[in-house]
Structure 1
Amino acid sequence: MERTTNIQLGFTEADLQRAAGPTSFSRGEDYAGAVQGLDIGETSIRAAVPGRETYRVELVVTHQTGLTGSCDCAYGADGHFCKHCVAVGLAALRQTTPVAPQSADAQVPVPPPAPTPRASQDLVTPWLRSLDRDALLALLNEESAADSGVRDRLLLRARVVQADRAEVRDLVKGLLAPGTFAHDGYAERALYVQDVAQATTILRTLIAAGRVAEAVDGARWALWRLAEVYESAGDADELFTPLHGLVAVHLRACEAARPDPEATARWLVGHLLGPFGEMTPVDPADYGDILGPTGLARALALATEAWRNDPTDKAARLKERLLKAQGDVDALIAAYADDLAPDGATHLRIALELDQAGRAGEALDWAERGLQTAGERRDVDQQLVEWTCVRYLRAGRLDDALAVRRTRFRAHGSLASYRSLRSAARGCGRWEAEREAALELLRGNGSRGGLGHSPRLLVDVLLDEGEVDAAWDAAAGHADDRQLRTLADRMRDHRPADALGVYLRLLEPLKQSTKDEAYQEITRLLRSIRACHQRLGTPGEFSRHMAALRTELKRKRKLMQLLDANDL
């Protein structure tokens, strides 16, 4: 069930784009309509996003960290702001009035939210109910005459109502025949998606006609067939929305038919443990009322037995989901606690469950235990680190957040962990001392162990701090080509001779390549080399260099054309 509070979000769609990047943002747009259980709180947003599995997402916005997101998909587990985070952010924006954070004294009026599809339905439904039978018939005739799609759907519904069980079964099977979906082009796939929509309309018509038992059986068969097509196609994102629609129809049919809990439990477990179970976004919690205590207990027993016979990750996850559906948080935690990952990932799962159950204190205790267990491991779960630090910040425990950031920087130094350390230390007003200790560690002057001598990271850190000359000194004999290029670009105005030496060094190996990308890079470097000579007052030397280069590389026609286009 969705829950929202009357708040304004502290981020915009542009913030989501910046956090995710163009690829993840574009993919997230496709999933926004499938977000489930959207829970918008005062400082965080939680939801589930179905895909090959159902992924849990949490977005947090604070003044200290800005917009951050965590997701238990593989890409999100690596610390990325994934497409599922984007989907949840977009879903939240569509239900609230997003505004960018403003200063306390800013007096900018907030515009009213744009009308949503749900608001439009609230206008249409009362109006339709106000019409009498003849007016409704006239309206339907008018709309079907104007729109062939409406007419075709009405004809299909009329045909289904008059058909017997066997005829309906054959109709659905004909629409969902696998065909050559996996090998066909975009147009053929689009037609298949339309056929799935027709099959879904048939099942909805059965429910409306009171033939709910047929709808249950038909939806289960359709889910199996469509999941099989999805699996065989390998890459069939077009089927995600139709799959989601079929799941919704099956659930609705079960709610109306109230099938036998024992049989439903067997179907649910068999479906989710089968070869195609993870292709369909079926959540056992949605079937809690249908199964009841007896059915849930039976489903859990079946899943547990399957796990004992074959302890796969899929079976373990189903056990956990059924425990969640039962609402037994302590039993779920006990199941998690039987196999705690050394990197703290399981501790985070426990913390999330406890937090969702309103047991925030216990949640933070488990998170802290996870960090203690992980110690100074390099592979500690980054989501656990972020979650714990955000909770510390909310509670005003700035020193504790700083201690976590310090430990993580020392255990796994990176530019990202340095920036997090800097942000936490500034919040405590202790950045000067922390900065000096961090730099000493990077220079190899700190305590033994941890980072040790990290000259390349030191270069990145000094560049990030704007200390270009110090970064240049640290780079001697250590920097890679990327860092050298950045240093040269940053030094070109005030140290053109040093920058020139870098550009010439980077240019040399590129002359052997025949790739277009190399030609583009050669051109960029030559423009920079020309700028250095201009600042040094030696344009004649650049002209001689270019003449020699053109003679050496004259056989590379594409390169010559590129040089001509750039007046080189």
Structure 2
Amino acid sequence: MTHALGFAEKDLRRMAGARSFERGVGYLSAVSRLEIGDETITATVDGTDAYEVELAEREDGGLTGWCDCPYGREGNFCKHCVAVGLTVLRQAESVPRQRAAAASRTRLLDTWLESRTREELLVLVREQLSEDRDLRRRLELRAATAGEDTGIARERILSLLDTRPFARYGYVEYADAHAYGQQAAEAVTALRAMTSSGRSADAVKVAREALQALGRTYGEIDDSDGLIGEVATGLAEAHLEACLSARPDPVETAEWLVHHLLDEENDATDIDLFDYREALGEPGMIRARELVVAAWRANPKGWPEKFLMERLLKADGSSVDALVAVHAADLAPNGHTHLVIAKELEAAGRAAEALKWAERGLREAESDWGPDDELVTFVCERYARADRLAGVVAIRRDLLQARPSLAAYQHLRTAARAANAWEGSERAGALEVLKAAAQPKDGRWYGASVLVDALMDDADLEAAWQAAADGYADQRQWLALADRIRDKKPADALTVYLCWIEPLRKQTGDSTYERMAELLLNARSCHRTLGTEAEFATYLASLRADQKRKRKLMATLDLHGL
């Protein structure tokens, strides 16, 4: 690696993106403990917390950055990395000298260590162990995995997965999950060390316990960053590696695997039974199939049983009918399972049967659940391809009647227009459905009716205004209508704004004051269009006099020029 910097400001901007780059510029003064080494650059950046940053230049001239802030741990080149990179660029001339000094210090340390006797090095290590608990724990683990006493290694590995030291309230919160994940990751390293040192049979047994231990506690950890999930995956991979090395009894291994996969507490890992084909061999796979089939037959509605059975059939290349039978044993009330079956059949070239299953799903969907949206789309798309447009309209009409909503109305409108059947009876019937679904009520603040939203969506503002006047609109809809008609019917819009200003006089709070200012601005706009600005000035003066004790309201009105 050359001593000259291999990156420029444009590279930092490209890697971070414009937003993070600009935010990084604001953190230049927060960079401390900057160390420019021969291969890496490290620093601390003070933000919400004190974050550790490391930059490294790749041999191909690129740059990598790591930060232990939440955004950085997701693999992003964050604002803290930008701040460190910019700080280094601002002292680029001194970088070669600093790197040369770092390399010299490394050589000096290596020479000094090599000159120490074994006894002197032991004294040095022991001094460090007495001061650094993390180092002591890591070396204790290495000693345990390298020794002959499996019990000690097992105890240390399982202790690394113990959440209790991190669960202040019986739950590992997000702030503590990273530290726990770093500790738990050492268990993966230890298991792999056992396998590589020739103790793979022991590693198999300990890995099983480790997987079960993490499975029991995973639901009590805030793993928003996915770090613990990575540990779980690592444990599963370490177990498979140990099995491939030790070749434990295939039948017993199959029994453990199937039992593990059927246990809903063990869903933290994505273990795939068929990754173990080589370790299980034919005897183990035969036993695994027997257990999966038996479990599914005993509980065909169980999610793990159903998933494993489906995986088994697909891996074995079984017929689509066998897969259909598995799904048909537990049909979801919203028709989603019918859709899964339909897709399997369609993929097998059996389109007619697929459509029949999908249509059956629409018929059998329970009223409280309603049909799955994707299932409805599946049927409608296939009807449309077959030019069965009236059928699409009928489906959309039934759905609107069953569960009136703006989305259902819009879908029916689209379908009916495609069939040239919207204007006239189809639209009138749809509006009657929406009208019947709501109860008119004057002065409602909440409880908007779909009727008014649908009429506004149709841009039929006259009808929407009439529906609102008949009691089908809440505050939100009244104000939306006023905004839509303000330019052409300012007097009507003004009536709405003034109506909803009045109740706010009796309320307090920043959001109330902002809302009042917004309504007053709209009212002023109406008065300007009407040429009655003097009338608005009189109204505003009266309101300010009435509300003068609300100093924050007065300040808000001043801020908006009212």
Same fold (TM over 0.5): yes
Query: Partner residue of 2:211?
Result: 223
- Structure 1's 505 and 282: CA in aligned 2 closer, same or farther, altered over 3 A? farther
Query: Partner residue of 2:475?
Result: 481
Query: Partner residue of 2:338?
Result: 347
Query: Partner residue of 1:164?
Result: 148
CA distance in 2, matches of 1:165, 1:437: 84
- Structure 1's 460 and 281: CA in aligned 2 closer, same or farther, altered over 3 A? same
Deviation per CA, 1:58-90: give whole Å up to 9, x if none.
xxxxxxxxxxxxxxxxxxxxxxxxxxxxxxxxx
CA-atom RMSD, angstroms? 3.8
Give TM-score scaled by structure 2 length.
0.62
Query: Partner residue of 1:414?
Result: 405
Query: Partner residue of 2:166?
Result: 181
CA distance in 2, matches of 1:209, 1:395: 65
Query: Partner residue of 2:46?
Result: none
- Whose Rg is larger? 2
Which deviates more, 195-204 or 327-336? 327-336
Shift of 1:497: 1.2
Letter of the 2:256 counterpart: W
Which deviates more, 154-163 or 364-373? 154-163
Query: Partner residue of 1:89?
Result: none
Of 366, 370, 374, 1:379 maps to 370
Deviation per CA, 1:161-181: give whole Å up to 9, x if none.
734362432332232222333
Query: Partner residue of 1:268?
Result: 257
Shift of 1:191: 1.6
Equivalent pair of 1:160/1:206 in contact (CA under 8 Å): no
Which deviates more, 522-531 or 370-379? 370-379
- Structure 1's 356 and 230: CA in aligned 2 closer, same or farther, altered over 3 A? farther
Query: Partner residue of 2:428?
Result: 440
- Structure 1's 286 and 531: CA in aligned 2 closer, same or farther, altered over 3 A? farther
Matched, 1:363 2:347: no
Equivalent pair of 1:523/1:562 in contact (CA under 8 Å): yes
Of 547, 552, 562, 1:558 maps to 552
Equivalent pair of 2:409/2:430 in contact (CA under 8 Å): no
Shift of 1:390: 4.0
What SS class does the counterpart of residue 434 from structure 1 fall into? coil
Give TM-score scaled by structure 1 length.
0.62
Deviation per CA, 1:212-250: give whole Å up to 9, x if none.
433433332222222233223467654233323333443
Shift of 1:452: 6.2
Equivalent pair of 1:442/1:454 in contact (CA under 8 Å): no
CA distance in 1, matches of 2:269, 2:147: 29
Any unmatched runs of 5+ in structure 2?
A: 1-105, 111-134, 439-448
- Structure 1's 551 and 155: CA in aligned 2 closer, same or farther, altered over 3 A? same
Query: Partner residue of 2:18?
Result: none
CA distance in 1, matches of 2:257, 2:518: 60
Letter of the 2:253 counterpart: T
Shift of 1:495: 0.9
Query: Partner residue of 2:442?
Result: none
Which deviates more, 551-560 or 488-497? 551-560
- Structure 1's 162 and 279: CA in aligned 2 closer, same or farther, altered over 3 A? closer
- Structure 1's 398 and 339: CA in aligned 2 closer, same or farther, altered over 3 A? same
Equivalent pair of 1:411/1:451 in contact (CA under 8 Å): no
Equivalent pair of 2:292/2:308 in contact (CA under 8 Å): no
- Structure 1's 470 and 294: CA in aligned 2 closer, same or farther, altered over 3 A? same
Shift of 1:321: 5.4
- Structure 1's 334 and 539: CA in aligned 2 closer, same or farther, altered over 3 A? same
Query: Partner residue of 1:200?
Result: 188
Correspondence 1:256-405 to 2 at 5 A: 257-274=246-263, 276-284=265-273, 286-287=275-276, 290=280, 291-302=284-295, 304-305=297-298, 307=299, 327-328=317-318, 329-355=320-346, 359-374=350-365, 379-392=370-383, 400-405=391-396
Letter of the 1:229 counterpart: T
CA distance in 2, matches of 1:492, 1:482: 15
Larger RCO: 1 or 2 (CA < 8 Å, sep 6+): 1
- Structure 1's 258 and 472: CA in aligned 2 closer, same or farther, altered over 3 A? farther
Matched, 1:540 2:534: yes
Deviation per CA, 1:397-438: give whole Å up to 9, x if none.
656544433432343332212222344445x4x34x224334
What SS class does the counterpart of residue 511 from structure 1 fall into? helix
Q: What is the percent sequence identity of the aligned residues?
A: 43
CA distance in 1, matches of 2:346, 2:144: 48
Letter of the 2:160 counterpart: L
CA distance in 2, matches of 1:287, 1:398: 50
Query: Partner residue of 2:233?
Result: 244
Deviation per CA, 1:70-113: give whole Å up to 9, x if none.
xxxxxxxxxxxxxxxxxxxxxxxxxxxxxxxxxxxxxxxxxxxx
